[in-house]
Amino acid sequence: MIKLLEKITPTESLKFLHRVVDGLCGRSYPRRIEYGEAWSLTEFGELTNSLSKFFTVAVGRKCSDQEVQELLGDLDSAHAAVVLQCVHARQEEIRLSLVDRTNGISSTQLQDFNWQIKLALSSDKLSSLNTPLLNLSLDMKENGLQRAVNIEMNKEELQTLISALEAANKLKVCMCRSVN
């Protein structure tokens, strides 16, 4: 669908691409009325959607120039150069928009953490315990409000937490690869 970009000049394409990135970053997308002669309503919608997905993939995957060229397929060289120019110019802005969108999934965000290892020597039930304990302090931000969460874990609970985090990381890596 990106090939539809060839219906306008490279100079007009650059302006159009920047407007698509504006829309992707939370501002207004290009209006069809401005490009009515170039594309039908269906073509305009398909092109803006394809370009939005393209920018998301190219920046989200941190694609090299060669990978961007491969994503563009058989787009003519003048238009491909303009697309690459737009990616370079707006890459950081697109990345920040993608990060904000990802962060917006949850209203609670981890701001900071701290940990301490303690050795419990005894308890009221056992005179000799010698059990290591982890004290994990999480500084959370929920709906704009800061709150602290303190968790104390023994060795087994810590191992369970580490296993769960490793499994989540593997799942994230697998999901990223399947999107690629």
Q: What is the pLDDT of residues 2-41, one digit of tens each?
A: 999 999 999 999 999 999 999 999 899 999 888 878 999 9
Domain ends where: 105, 134, 162?
Answer: 105
In the predicted model, is pLDDT for residue 168 greater than 60? yes
Residues 122, 166 within the same domain = yes
Domain ends where: 73, 105, 137?
Answer: 105
Residues 139, 91 within the same domain = no
pLDDT at residue number 176: 54
In the predicted model, is pLDDT for residue 179 greater than 70? no
Over its C-alpha atoms, the chain yields an Rg (Å, rounded) of 25
Residues 58, 83 within the same domain = yes
Residues 120, 166 within the same domain = yes
Half-sphere exposure of 149 (CA within 13 A, CB side): 13
Half-sphere exposure of 47 (CA within 13 A, CB side): 26
Tokens of 157: 């609970």
Residues 101, 128 within the same domain = no
Residues 56, 119 within the same domain = no
pLDDT at residue number 153: 92
In the predicted model, is pLDDT for residue 79 greater than 70? yes
Please write the tens of the pLDDT for every residue from 96-151: 999 888 877 777 888 899 999 988 776 666 566 778 899 999 999 887 789 999 99
pLDDT at residue number 131: 82
Range of the domain at 79: 2-105
Residues 139, 120 within the same domain = yes
pLDDT at residue number 177: 56
Contact 60, 54 (CB under 8 A): no
Residues 7, 96 within the same domain = yes
pLDDT at residue number 55: 95
Residues 100, 122 within the same domain = no
Say how many C-beta atoms besides its own lie within 10 A of residue 165's C-beta.
Answer: 10
pLDDT category of residue 171 using cuts at 50, 70 and 90: confident
Domain count, the chain: 2
b/e sequence 13-22, b meaning 16+ C-beta within 10 Å: bbebbebbbe
Residues 85, 63 within the same domain = yes
pLDDT average, residue stretch 84-105: 89
Residues 6, 90 within the same domain = yes
Tokens of 40: 């039908």
